Each structure stands twice: as C-alpha cells, then as structure tokens.
Amino acid sequence: MNKSLNVLTLFTLLLLASLNHVYSQEHSLIKKWESDTVLKVPESVLYDAENKVLYVANIDGKDPWAADGNGSIGKVGLDGKIIAVDWVPGLNAPKGMGIYKGKLYAADLNNVVVIDIKSGKIVQTIKVDGAEGLNDITVDKKGAVYVSDSKTLKVFKIENGNATVYLENLKGPNGLLADKESLYVLDNGGMYKVNADKTLTKITDGMEGGTDGIENVSGSDYLVSCWAGVIWYVKGDGSKEKLLDTKDQKINSADIGYDAKNRMVYVPTFWRNGVVAYELR
C-alpha cells in the first residue's frame, strides 16, 4: 500500500513539475517561412525597416575567417524570397551589420565595409588596426560604430572613420547592441551591460557558448541567439526562457535580425544556407 502511494506521489510531483514548466513558458517562436537554401553560409541577418528588406552576410566558404574575396551581402524579401544572393560582392568573410543614415556597415575580418544602401556600392573601407576577427556591429544614435573582435577579445569603437580599442580582455566577445543610451555585449555565454566607466554589469549567463546575436524586444527584454542552434528570451532581471533549440538537427542560429513592430525573428542557418522567419508570441 505504501509502495503504491509512493509511486502515486512521485507521478503527481512529476506532473506538477511538467505543468509548471508549461505555464512558466511565457513566450514562443512560431515558424512562418524558410527561404531557399541558395545563400552562401549566411552568418548574419539585418532587418531594414525603411526599405522593408533583409540584408544577409554571406561568408561563402568552409573557413569563416578566410580572406578569399568570396564573401558578399545578399538581399532577401520579407516573404522569404531571395532578391539577390550577391547584392554586394567582393567581400571576404562578412558577419555582423548595422545601419546608419542610409549606410550599411559590415564587419569583414579586419575591416569595416561601408555600403551605400541606395546604390548598393561600397563607398568606404575602414581598416581596424590590430583587429583579426571582427564579428558583430552595432551603431548608436550618434553614429558611433562598435565592432567586436572574437579573436583578439576586444571591442573597437569607430568615430569619424577612426577605430580605437573600446573594451579589451574579454573572454569571447561577439554580439553587440546599442540600445537607447546603453551598450550591451555578449561574451562567452553571458550578456552584459557596458557601464560608463567601461566595466561590465552581468545581466545573465549560462547560455550556450557561441552567444551570437542580440536584439531588443521592448523595454528591458531581449532576444539572444547562440550559434549552436539556440535562441533565448532574456529579461532585464536576468531570467530567461529557451525559445528554440535546433542543436540535435544541427541547424545553426547565428546572428539574428528582428522586426520589433511585427515581432518577427529572422534566423540565419549558416551551413544550411538559408534564413528562417519566426513570429515571437
């Protein structure tokens, strides 16, 4: 009799734990479309609200850090249809991107390439002295460009075409986001706010290595993607929910783009050569 009660008690506890997990999951991602797999190792997606289009950074090669001249920026419609795979050719291994006043900034190994969006032409190449593996980019309201270097473990700041070291001695920096008056950095599985004195305040950690893209949902809520195939919903208090996990399918989720108005998340699948769109609910 006691054995039966123990089994029933255990079953009840497991059921309650399962129900608690279901009800505590406040947000989810609903797949809306998937592009054709004709992109070329897409590492980053950037949503352009003004032109209603997605820009995709194509590494194009087995070595994500090769200076081979094969890289490009592609264009994808908001319906998932490929507009141009090689909209802007002639790059090496482009990754993170940012937009400011009609210009598209792309991190390309040790350079930041500046593209005129209207013409699709490269108008400037900013060499970042000392850089070896530039990765993500964000641009603040004043036009200052921040770019992470995952190889030298630094973050550079570019103003008036000149690059200087902004942060150093990090562990594995990648994703950057200038949001409102603050700068956020993803570093080795954690999300941090950069203070005025350049110290870091931890928002959360414990995410998969390869923390890649960061986007603001609203207020102090953020989306964080991990290259291995995971996307997290992170709140300002440090709590987080896992929204996507495609590790078992070996589908990467690199540097995501986000349309805050329509709550659409755009995920580059890297080796799978496509972009997948999800609605955030």
CB 100 within 8 A of CB 115: no
**All domains of the chain in start order, with CATH:** 29-280 (2.120.10.30)
pLDDT tens-digit readout, 258-281: 999 999 999 999 999 999 999 999
CB 93 within 8 A of CB 109: yes
- The DSSP code sequence of the chain is -HHHHHHHHHHHHHHHHHHHHHHH----EEEEEE--S-SSSEEEEEEETTTTEEEEEE--SS-TT---S-EEEEEE-TTS-EEEEEEEEEESSEEEEEEETTEEEEEEBTEEEEEETTTTEEEEEEE-TT-S-EEEEEE-TT--EEEEETTTTEEEEEETTEEEEEE-S-SSEEEEEEETTEEEEEETTEEEEEPTTS-EEEEE--PPS-EEEEEEEETTEEEEEETTTEEEEE-TTS-EEEEEE-TTTT----B-EEETTTTEEEEE-GGG--EEEEEE-
In this prediction, residue 1 carries a pLDDT of: 46
Q: Name the β-bridge partners of 46.
A: 55
Per-residue pLDDT of the chain (281 residues; tens, 9 = 90+): 455 545 455 455 444 444 444 446 899 999 999 999 999 999 999 999 999 999 999 999 999 999 999 999 999 999 999 999 999 999 999 999 999 999 999 999 999 999 999 999 999 999 999 999 999 999 999 999 999 999 999 999 999 999 999 999 999 999 999 999 999 999 999 999 999 999 999 999 999 879 999 999 999 999 999 999 999 999 999 999 999 999 999 999 999 999 999 999 999 999 999 999 999 99
pTM of the model: 0.91
Cα 64 from Cα 51, distance rounded (Å): 29
Cα 104 from Cα 163, distance rounded (Å): 17
Cα angle 255-259-260, degrees, rounded to a multiple of 5? 115
Q: Name the β-bridge partners of 264.
A: 259, 279
In this prediction, residue 209 carries a pLDDT of: 73
pLDDT tens-digit readout, 129-166: 999 999 999 999 999 999 999 999 999 999 999 999 99
Q: Cβ atoms within 10 A of the Cβ of 190, count?
A: 18
CA atoms within 13 A on the CB side of 260: 10
Q: Cβ atoms within 10 A of the Cβ of 170, count?
A: 20
